[in-house]
Structure 1
Amino acid sequence: MEFRDVVRRRRMVRNYDPDRPVPVEVVERLLGHAVRAPSAGFSQGWGFLVLDAGADRELFWRATTPEGQGMTGWLAGMRRAPLIVVPHSNRSAYLDRYAEPDKGWTDRDPARWPAPYWDIDAGFAALLMLLTAVDEGLGACFFGIPPQRVQPFRDAFGVPAEFAPIGAVTVGYPAPDRRSPSLERGHRPLESVVHRGRWTTSV
């Protein structure tokens, strides 16, 4: 598939065929592409939790679903995904890397960073998984873990304290899905978001 087609076809898929697992070799390509993402100082401070066993996926949904939220609507379709990958960021890996002699930030002060590149780089990795899924004829969706459910998630899977989940990615073969109301907004035209030479404000 041409890269331009991969980009144009990418969308968040929220319903999957539960009877078609993601082939092992495709899972390996998803992860292999994820670790090709850029990272500040080549710190590579990420970690990926792969959940492809039914019991592990069920545990994920129990741990991350807010109490009182039923398994209906979009969540019911998401739960059919045969694969969940949870990308994590590790701030310490970046602070350690930039304390090395070629960088010299020996105080390891996070205030030196203009943005949390550890989270950004893990997001880059997640995007490469989303694009790879399209290229493989799969669907995928990136979504957040509710803040109040992060600790239950950590406890359920033994996630080390230095790793923070930035979200989760469901992957699988798409099933018929209702059109998300968000898509009705359409893509904003380039002229409304691109500023050349000087920032302009549209009236």
Structure 2
Amino acid sequence: MTDPNRPFTDEERQGLYRAIHERRDVRSQFLPDPIPDDVLARLLQAAHHAPSVGFMQPWDFILIDSVPVREQIVAIFDQENEKAAKNYTGERQHTYRNLKLQGILESPINLCITCDRSRGGEHVLGRNSIVETDLFSTCLAVQNLWLAARAEGIGVGWVSILDQQQLANTLNLPEHVYPLAYLCLGYVSEFLDQPELQKKGWRSRLPLEELVHGNGWGAPSDNQELRSILTDRPDQAG
């Protein structure tokens, strides 16, 4: 184990920021190549080292390589995706229907990261005021896995257009376990230079300088140098 007090080298720092900026929600570029077990183990270990409120570690990891199970998930997606398409009309609906929003069967393996809402008992340190901290903690496990996957050259796609109760039933989850993230994992033909929804014209990244407030909502930060840097050096990584 390395010394946790050792400063990161410039190369290590740059690698972290590269993973953050080049992480993508992958839907269309999956290759059939399997993920080696040692690599998959590293991804799961990265997820398991996420921070959690009260150290409750509410996550579990369901690996799904069964085609019949994944076909059931696709059926749930198709049902919910049709409902979602009806939220839009005209050209916007046409654009929506032409978006690739899942790679459930194309990716070599799927992963459902769940949140056990009973883990840690009735009183978890730090959870008294905000009971959703178990969900927030599990989201951090998702992010850890996602960044580690990008560093390993593996794409991840989060499929959120799913009925959670139907998903829970399909995966035989206990009542107190919530299916927080259904992910598609696999090597990819390419990582896009910008998020796919931005590339397809659905939405663009918001300017960071417009999202930074000072000492309260709507007030500009008093740190003029920071404001100048954020304005003069917009995120070019997509």
TM-score over 0.5 for the pair: yes
Residue 60 of structure 1 and its aligned partner are, at CA, apart by: 2.9
**Which structure 1 residue ranges, 5 or more long, are not aligned?**
none
The answer to which of 156-165 and 73-82 deviates more is: 73-82
Following TM superposition, by how much is the alpha carbon of 1:163 offset from its aligned partner in structure 2, in angstroms?
0.4
SS in 2 for 1:7: helix
Aligned to 2:85: none
RMSD: 3.0
1:165 aligns with 2:191: no
Task: Evaluate the alpha carbon distance shift between residue 97 and residue 31 of structure 1 in structure 2; reply closer, same or farther with a 3 A threshold.
Answer: farther
Q: Distance in 2 between matches of 1:122 and 1:92?
A: 13
Q: Structure 1 residues 60 and 5, CA, compared in 2 at 3 Å: closer, same or farther? A: same
1:124 equivalent in alignment to 2:124:
no
Instruction: Tell me the residue number matched to 1:150.
Output: 164
Structure 1 residues 1-203: aligned runs within 5 Å? 2-66=15-79, 69=82, 74-75=100-101, 77-98=103-124, 103=125, 112-114=128-130, 116-146=132-162, 149-175=163-189, 180-183=196-199, 184=201, 185-201=203-219
Distance 1:187 1:180 in 2: 11
Rounded Cα–Cα distance in structure 1 between residues aligned with 2:104 and 2:36: 18
Give % identity: 25
Query: Partner letter of residue 190 of structure 1?
Result: L
Tell me the secondary structure at the aligned position of residue 156 of structure 2.
strand
SS at match of 1:12: coil
Deviation, structure 1 residue 131 = 0.6
C-alpha separation between the residues in 2 aligned to 1:87 and 1:30?
12
Name the SS for the 2:169 alignment partner: helix
The structural deviation recorded for 1:15 is 1.7
Structure 1 residue identity aligned to 2:47: A
Call closer, same or farther: CA 1:177–1:153 in 2, change over 3 Å: same
Query: CA 1:25–1:53 in structure 2 vs 1: closer, same or farther (change >3 Å)?
Result: farther
Write the distance in 1 (CA, Å) between the matches of 2:99 and 2:213.
39
Q: CA deviation at 1:79?
A: 2.8
Q: Is the 8 A contact 2:70 2:104 kept in 1?
A: no
Asked if the contact 2:158–2:184 (Cα under 8 Å) also holds between the matched residues in 1, the reply is yes
129-138 or 11-20, which deviates more: 11-20
- TM-score with structure 2 setting the length: 0.68
The structural deviation recorded for 1:92 is 1.4
Secondary structure class of the residue paired with 2:130 = coil
Q: Structure 1 counterpart of 2:136, which letter?
A: I
What is the distance in 2 between the residues matched to 1:28 and 1:50?
11
- The secondary structure found in structure 2 opposite 1:132 is helix
Once the two structures are superposed, what CA deviation does each residue of 1:79-125 show, in whole Å capped at 9, x if it has no partner? 30111111111221145352xxxx5x9xxxx8x43350111111110
Q: How many residues align?
A: 190
Find the aligned partners of 2:49 and 2:21 in 1 and give their Cα distance: 21
Query: Which piece of structure 1 moves more, 87-96 or 182-191?
Result: 182-191
Structure 1 position 16, deviation (Å):
3.6
After superposition, the Cα gap between the structure-2 partners of 1:62 and 1:198, relative to the gap in structure 1 and judged at 3 Å, is closer
Q: 2:191, 2:99 → 1: CA distance?
A: 10
2:214 is paired with a residue whose SS is coil
Structure with greater Cα Rg: 2
